[in-house]
Amino acid sequence: MWVIKNKFVFIFSILAVTLFVFNSFVDDNPYFKITAKDVELKIPQGFPKPFYTFKNNKLSADVFMLGRKLFYDPLLSGDSTISCASCHQRIAAFGHIDHALSHGINGLIGKRNVSGLENLIWKDTYMWDGGVNNLEVQPINPITNPVEMNETLEHDVYKLKHNKQYVMLFNKAYHDTIINSERMLKALTQFTGLMISANSRYDKYMAGKDTFSNAEKNGLVIFRMKCANCHKEPLFTDNTYRNNGIKPDTALRDLGRAAITGTDRDVNTFKVPGLRNIERTYPYMHDGRFRNLKQVMDHYANPEDYDTGADLSLHKIGKLSEKEKSEVIAFLKTLTDTEFLYDKRFMDPDMRQ
């Protein structure tokens, strides 16, 4: 009798332990758990003061986790098929691998190439034409765009209020029962705003912690002479709008910055994109016309073919030899930040791995 009883206790304990372990993986996967330390805003060495400071959006682990859930949730779209992450894929540095123009709801094709997401708090404006000047309101654009997520903020809030999991998550994040669009947008901003990329080989080289091959070193020299005027270090953008010499696509008729300012001078100028993780965010340019960096370099090194309105500083580039082009490409690849790309904080929390 005594033996049997003990056997029961033994089996029961094994069961309890198994259940506990299983549960902790399913409900609260520790791999994806975010702590207060994970959401501290650390300004990387040499970076300027950010434009967006989280002053009115106090960083917290629970708000960040809410934002992450929202970012990966197709619930935010009109027919629950498209999430932010459908277009902004982590593995493509939050761009969209292999799509020239964005693909949204009902298979509809947008007008522009999906931007990679990184170092957003250092941008004063967003989108290729700078049409949005506040990171917090930026998501309204894709959410309400009929060819992207085709939804209204009011209906998103309605869906969140009727979803048990979100009721719990909002409560955890804000310690009351209010669910509104402002909070939804602020949570998304904590998630996207903390996407800071500053640990590439380039950064390590600059800090004296890594070495460059000769090709990479030469590439950096050429880059500083011919490209850094617009793609200014360390963010690789000077936040201006320029015509980088690509001829307008007559089918798309994208006016660029002029669509916002209505000024002739701004026709066919676009926001200078940051180049961090550029190896991953192909295809390139606002319309995704170039499939790889070789095509980008062929464009810049061929002044005869520049658009008539090309920025004057482009003429500093001149002809580049094949060797020089490949050196610049070798340098650009040092901007790939694998720590950022594989940072668990930005992974889909519902992904089981």
Q: Is 284 in the site for ligand HEC (CB under 6 A)?
A: yes
Q: Is 114 in the site for ligand HEC (CB under 6 A)?
A: yes
Minimum CB separation of residue 196 from ligand HEC in Å reads 13
**What's the CA gap between 202 and 299, in Å, rounded?**
24
Minimum CB separation of residue 266 from ligand HEC in Å reads 12
**CB of 46 or CB of 318, closer to ligand HEC:** 318
**What's the CA gap between 323 and 6, in Å, rounded?**
76
Q: Is 281 in the site for ligand HEC (CB under 6 A)?
A: yes
Q: Is 150 in the site for ligand HEC (CB under 6 A)?
A: no
Stretch binding ligand HEC (CB under 6 A), from 45-53, 113-121, 210-218, 336-344: 113-121
Closest CA to 123 of 285, 290, 292, 239: 239
Per CB under 6 A, contacts with ligand HEC among 320-339 are: 328
CA neighbours closer than 13 Å in the CB half-sphere of residue 225: 13
Question: What's the full length of the chain, in residues?
Answer: 353
Per CB under 6 A, contacts with ligand HEC among 64-83 are: 71, 76, 82
Give the C-alpha distances (Å, rounded to integers) separating 204 from 4, 43, 116, 340: 63, 15, 22, 14
Count of residues near ligand HEC by CB under 6 A: 51
CB atoms within 10 A of CB 203: 21
Q: Is 93 in the site for ligand HEC (CB under 6 A)?
A: no
Minimum CB separation of residue 206 from ligand HEC in Å reads 18
**Is residue 76 within 8 Å of residue 151, measured between CB atoms?**
yes
Binding residue for ligand HEC (CB under 6 A) from 57, 139, 333, 336? 139
**What's the CA gap between 284 and 314, in Å, rounded?**
18
Q: Is 185 in the site for ligand HEC (CB under 6 A)?
A: no
Closest CA to 202 of 228, 218, 220: 220
**Is residue 151 within 8 Å of residue 77, measured between CB atoms?**
yes
Residues 3-42 as x/- pattern, contact with ligand HEC by CB under 6 A: ----------------------------------------
**Is residue 237 within 8 Å of residue 126, measured between CB atoms?**
no
**CB of 63 or CB of 296, closer to ligand HEC:** 296
**What's the CA gap between 67 and 84, in Å, rounded?**
11
**CB of 68 or CB of 203, closer to ligand HEC:** 68
CA neighbours closer than 13 Å in the CB half-sphere of residue 329: 18
**What's the CA gap between 254 and 34, in Å, rounded?**
41
**What's the CA gap between 129 and 235, in Å, rounded?**
18
Per CB under 6 A, contacts with ligand HEC among 288-317 are: 296, 300, 311, 313-314, 317
Which amino acid is present at 113?
A: N
Stretch binding ligand HEC (CB under 6 A), from 9-17, 28-36, 43-51, 110-118: 110-118
**CB of 81 or CB of 171, closer to ligand HEC:** 81
Q: Is 184 in the site for ligand HEC (CB under 6 A)?
A: no
Q: Is 99 in the site for ligand HEC (CB under 6 A)?
A: no
**Is residue 328 within 8 Å of residue 219, measured between CB atoms?**
yes
Residues of this chain that bind ligand HEC (CB under 6 A): 71, 76, 82, 84, 86-88, 102, 104, 110, 112, 114-115, 117, 120, 123, 126-128, 138-139, 142-143, 148-149, 188, 192, 226-227, 229-231, 242, 244, 246, 270, 272-273, 275, 278, 281, 284-286, 296, 300, 311, 313-314, 317, 328
